[in-house]
Structure formats: structure tokens, C-alpha cells
């Protein structure tokens, strides 16, 4: 289960370019297993698509879907490690 950072990233009223940079910066700064909430005054799918470019390390889920406020939980997935000496390519 991911741990939520309590202060949401509020993008309501932010310029699109600034909002995108804020989302990317916040996402990149997350530790594995941590998450934050994003608040917007419109569907933030454009910002979330930017996270898709960061790889499969991130997940998001709508918590509230407008029309006045959109709230999305963004999480950095944990990477499972293996004790296998071959880095997870064990054959048996």
C-alpha cells in the first residue's frame, strides 16, 4: 500500500506549462511506494500522460472526477527485488 504525501499538488489556476513541470517534478521526487494527490479544475489527463513517458514506475487513479474539482492519486510503484543470484532469471 502506498503512503500518501498529505499536501496535495494544487494545479487549479496554474498555467499549463507550469502545471506540467510541477507534475513531472513531483513525480520524479517520489520515493518508491509513496504517492501524492493532484488537484485540478479540469480533467488532468494531459498531465497524467506525461507520467506515462516516465515509464511504468507510476500509477494513477481518479479519486474525484469533476465537474468542479478533479482529484487524482499518483503513486510510484515499488520495484520487487529477487534474492536469486541471477537477478530474477532463475530456471528452477
Contact 35, 5 (CB under 8 A): yes
Are 59 and 87 a contacting pair, CB within 8 Å?
Answer: no
Q: What pTM value is reported for the model?
A: 0.72
Question: Quick one: DSSP state of residue 62?
Answer: E
Per-residue pLDDT of the chain (92 residues; tens, 9 = 90+): 455 556 899 999 999 888 888 888 898 899 999 999 999 998 888 777 777 777 778 888 999 999 999 999 999 988 765 455 555 555 55
Return the CATH fold of 3-76: Translation Initiation Factor IF3 (3.30.110)
Domain boundaries, the chain: 3-76
Amino acid at each position: 500500500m502506498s503512503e500518501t504525501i498529505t499536501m496535495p499538488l494544487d494545479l487549479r489556476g496554474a498555467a499549463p506549462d507550469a502545471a506540467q513541470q510541477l507534475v513531472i517534478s513531483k513525480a520524479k521526487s517520489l520515493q518508491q511506494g509513496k504517492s501524492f494527490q493532484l488537484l485540478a479544475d479540469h480533467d488532468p489527463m494531459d498531465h497524467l500522460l506525461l507520467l506515462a513517458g516516465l515509464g511504468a514506475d507510476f500509477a494513477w487513479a481518479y479519486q474525484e472526477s469533476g465537474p468542479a474539482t478533479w482529484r487524482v492519486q499518483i503513486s510510484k510503484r515499488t520495484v520487487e527485488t529477487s534474492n536469486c543470484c541471477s537477478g530474477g532469471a532463475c530456471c528452477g
